[in-house]
Amino acid sequence: MREALRWARRCLVGAVESPEVEAEILLTHVLGRSRAQLYAGADDRLSAEAAERLGELVARRAGGEPLQYLTGHQVFRRLDLAVGPGVLVPRPETEMVVEHALGRIAGVASPVVVDVGTGSGAIALSVGVERPDATVWATEVSPEAAAWARRNLDRLGAGNVTIAEGDLFSPLPANLRGAVDLVVANPPYLAAAQLAGMAADVRDHEPLVATVSGPSGLEVPARVVEEALAWIRPGGWLVMETWPGQADDLLALLSARYAEAAVHPDLTGSLRIAEGQKRPSDPVR
Ligand SMILES: C[S@@+](CC[C@H](N)C(=O)[O-])C[C@H]1O[C@@H](n2cnc3c(N)ncnc32)[C@H](O)[C@@H]1O
């Protein structure tokens, strides 16, 4: 094992940020062992089959495939989500967006929540599990991503979450208009030209529909800001993930249409969480 671990680490140096950690993750995944079991059996010999499988995964990772596509899962808040090609790997920064969003419905009994662009279902399923009294709708335009969300929904058995395939708010039932307590979204927000500067896993492997919004990067977020107004009840909230380079533009859009518009930093100090409250006087359109 020791030698296999060293070998895997050497192959990953220069290709990933933490070769030691990732070598360990791939080897424990191949062996179906915990980290503690791995080190307890450090003198064991690796079978030819396991060595071949490790070699294949290390080569794919060195070629830029996301680690989570290789292991097939990602932990997000309380959930262990299945992920793979066709869906964005949920990020730690989004966990904070969920935390903030949950705060906005803390005082609301049986809230109605919509997660727009659900991907793996990370946000919708977290809200569904952490607020069992909520009714959660999750929309997703990509059939591949929606299939991952359904897989995760089935695994978790969150009966209060419904996944609806289609563009932004269009697959929602009409009776939700003006009745939603919280819309939460982590929309694609990169400008097309930014993609070239991203890490290989994002650039070459994660779906473009999940990362790139259009020429400016603001196209999908701007649609969410505008279209959410028809669904949120007066006094309800829109909470969105953003990134520091877009925070000012998004804040301007929110300020023009919502009360209490703000962009908050995450725990690392990056402006990540944008929000606005629907004004009581705004009519349902
Ligand atoms: C940045 S990813 C976020 C995924 C997930 N919510 C998360 O935080 O891990 C954006 C998601 O929005 C979806 N999406 C992009 N455009 C959309 C649209 N017009 N309508 C619905 N979903 C859309 C993408 O397929 C992708 O799954």
Amino acid residing at 215: P
Minimal-distance CA residue to ligand 1 atom 6? 118
pLDDT of residue 44: 86
Kindly report, residue by residue over 108-140, the tens digit of the pLDDT. Answer: 999 999 999 999 999 999 999 999 999 999 999
217 lines ligand 1 (CB under 6 A): no
Does residue 264 lie in a domain region?
A: yes
Does residue 267 lie in a domain region?
A: yes
- For β-strands 190-191 and 73-76, DSSP reports them as unpaired
Q: Domain with 162 in it: what CATH number?
A: 3.40.50.150
3-state secondary structure 108-171: CCCCEEEEECCCCCHHHHHHHHHCCCCEEEEEECCHHHHHHHHHHHHHHCCCCEEEEECCCCCC
Report the domain count for the chain.
Answer: 2
- Give me Rg for the CA atoms of the chain: 21
> How is residue 264 annotated by DSSP?
E
Give residue 44's domain range. Answer: 2-63
pLDDT of residue 1: 82
The rounded percent of the chain whose pLDDT value lies above 90 is 93
184 lines ligand 1 (CB under 6 A): no
Regarding whether 91 and 20 lie in a shared domain, the answer is no
Does residue 69 lie in a domain region?
A: no
The CA-based dihedral angle spanning residues 111, 117, 119, 124, taken in that order and rounded to the nearest 10 degrees = 0
Measured distance CA(79)–CA(122) in Å, rounded: 8
Regarding whether 33 and 166 lie in a shared domain, the answer is no
88 lines ligand 1 (CB under 6 A): yes
pLDDT of residue 171: 98
Regarding whether 202 and 89 lie in a shared domain, the answer is yes
10 CA → ligand 1 middle, Å: 35
Measured distance CA(61)–CA(236) in Å, rounded: 43
74 lines ligand 1 (CB under 6 A): no
Of 40, 63, 86, the domain-final residue: 63
DSSP string, 23-81: HHHHHHHHHT--HHHHHHTTTSPPPHHHHHHHHHHHHHHHTT--HHHHH-EEEETTEEE
Does residue 129 lie in a domain region?
A: yes
Regarding whether 130 and 20 lie in a shared domain, the answer is no
Does residue 284 lie in a domain region?
A: no
The rounded percent of the chain whose pLDDT value lies above 70 is 99
140 CA → ligand 1 middle, Å: 6
Mean pLDDT computed over every residue of the chain = 96
Does residue 111 lie in a domain region?
A: yes
Regarding whether 79 and 59 lie in a shared domain, the answer is no
280 or 177, higher pLDDT: 177
90 lines ligand 1 (CB under 6 A): yes
Per-residue pLDDT band for 284 (boundaries 50, 70, 90) equals low
Kindly report, residue by residue over 212-239, the tens digit of the pLDDT. Answer: 999 999 999 999 999 999 999 999 999 9
Regarding whether 243 and 129 lie in a shared domain, the answer is yes
Is residue 283 scored above 60 in pLDDT? no
Does residue 283 lie in a domain region?
A: no
117 half-sphere exposure, CB direction, 13 A CA radius: 24
pLDDT of residue 41: 87
Per-residue pLDDT band for 251 (boundaries 50, 70, 90) equals very high
Does residue 285 lie in a domain region?
A: no
139 lines ligand 1 (CB under 6 A): yes
